[in-house]
Amino acid sequence: MSTEAPTLVSQSKAHGGTQFVYSHESTACGCTMTFAIFVPPQAERRPCPVLWYLSGLTCTHANVMEKGEYRRLAAELGVIIVCPDTSPRGDHVPDEPDNWQFGSGAGFYLDATAAPYAENYRMESYAMEELPALVAAHFPADMDRQSVFGHSMGGHGALTLALKHPERFRSCSAFAPIVSPTMADWSKPALRKYLGEDTAAHRRHDATCLVEDGARFSDFLIDQGTADGFLQEGLKPWLFAEACGKAGVPLTLRMHEGYDHSYYFISTFMDDHLLWHAERLV
């Protein structure tokens, strides 16, 4: 996979660090991909740990960059924040434009195996191999210290990638994650389209199933709002909590009265998550 220098789209000074947006040609996804990266002021003196933020359905790199309110504390803590896009994009990329739960903006952080999606929808390879290699090559990143978090579909991605690659990440957290896409109405059809009808393949992209099937991670933090309109049908955090409890996997699940699924919720608890990860990235 190419580690050619990415193309600068924008840069802005913030809290002594710099918020960048770059684009690059992705071999994994077969298209131009865009990502955001916040580099704290400490990076002028030494490599800094990396915290990956994975966004949710319909989002791009820009949602958390513009509304997540992470830069002040990330600058204080000396943590690089990388925000990939959520899917491949382009006129040649297969899509269902009228379906917000699939295709563009809905890559589910997996490598598709079913036609016609297998050629472009390789978000697990992109997030785990191609983009980390590019970050390591071109930014002052300490790749021995990485953590991951995300929201909704991105929370699903954070949980599953951490469980499948526990040696890569020192910590994992999530805001309102889809903890069991094999059981959620808005994600079951996407798994079938990306992966075919093989239910065993579906289980490998389901955090609850991964724990049930023996995957382990050091500990998790999940924040969930009780007023989230997707809570009962799409998110179901109790399923993951039950699986972690049976397996002895440490999980802190915090239910917050009156909070919904929006970035008002995420920004409220963003500092808690950054501090959680910073403690484990030392």
- How many Cβ atoms from other residues are within 10 Å of residue 90's Cβ? 13
**Whose structure tokens read 């997030």?**
127
Q: Which of 26, 55, 87, 152 is catalytic?
A: 152
Q: How confident is the model at residue 186 (pLDDT cuts 50, 70, 90)?
A: confident
Q: Give the dihedral sign, CA 90/92/94/98.
A: positive
3-state secondary structure 164-201: HCCCCCCCEEEECCCCCCCCCCCCHHHHHHHHCCCHHH
Whether residue 98 lies in the annotated active site: no
Q: Residues 61, 34: contact at Cβ < 8 Å?
A: yes
Does residue 185 carry a pLDDT above 90? no
- Residue 1, pLDDT > 60, answer no
Among the listed residues 61, 202, 261, 273, the single catalytic one is 261
- Choose among 190, 200, 150, 142: nearest CA to 172: 150
Q: Check if 152 is active-site.
A: yes
- Given the residues 95, 206, 223, 228, select the one marked as catalytic: 228
Per-residue pLDDT, averaged over 191-220, amounts to 97
User: Which residue stretches of the chain are H helix?
Assistant: 62-67, 71-77, 123-125, 131-138, 153-164, 188-195, 199-203, 207-212, 237-247, 263-280
CATH topology of domain 7-281: Rossmann fold (3.40.50)
Q: Please tell me the distance from the alpha carbon of residue 160 to that of residue 227, in angstroms, as a whole number.
A: 25
To the question of pTM greater than 0.95 for the whole model, the response is yes
Task: Please compute the mean of the pLDDT values over residues 13-28 and round it to a whole number.
Answer: 98
* C-alpha–C-alpha distance, residues 152 and 150, integer Å: 7
Token pair 């920004």 is found at: 267
- To the query of whether residue 85 is one of the catalytic residues in this protein, the response is no
Tally of CB atoms within 10 A around 200:
9
Nearest to 220 by CA among 145, 150, 119: 150
